[in-house]
Each structure stands twice: as structure tokens, then as C-alpha cells.
Structure 1
Amino acid sequence: DTLGTINYNRLRIGVGSEFGKGKQVDYVLGEWSEEEGAQLKERLHKLDALIRSFVLSGVAITMNQFNGT
């Protein structure tokens, strides 16, 4: 409502699909395994670069650079 439009860019980060039907909430809100925690630490530098690109370079460049990585 504040923006006066529903058309704005959103930054979404996927969570995968390793959950059964109707179990997405449990998957998203569940505890991380040790392996997932280690992967997160490894990827924080990429997340920082992704956010900077999104803000400074825009959606198209960011999508081309980061989608699928």
C-alpha cells in the first residue's frame, strides 16, 4: 500500500525442494544439518555479492550473473 503499486522487484533466495508435499513449512523452519550450515558459511560471500549487484546493477544483470549458481 505504501508504494502505491504491486510492481516492484523482489530478491528471493530458493530453499530447494527436498521436502514432501505439504511439508515445506517444516523444511523451511526446521533445524539445519551440519552440512547445510557449512554450505551456508561457504555461500555468504556470494550472497553479499548478489545483494550488492541487485541494488547497484539491477535485476537483469543480477539474474544473468547469479541464477542457477
Structure 2
Amino acid sequence: MKQSYKLAVVCGKLGDVDGVSLEVDKWIDVLCDMGHEIYTVSGVYAADLPRVPAERRLTVPELCFD
């Protein structure tokens, strides 16, 4: 039986073209393809995350770098 998990990614900024955001996008794709449910916590979302529904995205302004 294949197990799936609820996983959270915490980052100051997501959905941008910087290196960290691009790597997180790759990890989200891989983990979603493996059947896991992904949640994100970020200070700001520069763009939509197509693999993470809005109800699984939490914005915490205190995490933002600006």
C-alpha cells in the first residue's frame, strides 16, 4: 500500500523566479506526483502556485523579507 502524507513548505517568498522559489516549485511537483498533499506557508506569493490550491496556501506577512 502506498502511503501519502500532508506536507508543508515554509518559505519567505514563493512563486517568484529566484532560485529558492524555483527549487520549491520542483519539489512541489515531485511530491504531488508522488501523491502527497502539499500546503505552503509564505510571507508573500509572487504568483499563483498551480499545484497548490488556494485553500492550502497560508500567508504570514511576518515571514516576508521586505
TM-score (norm 2): 0.31
State which structure, 1 or 2, has the greater radius of gyration over its C-alpha atoms: 1
Normalization by structure 1: what TM-score? 0.30
Query: Counting strand residues as a fraction of each chain, which structure ranks higher?
Result: 2
More helix by proportion, 1 or 2? Answer: 1
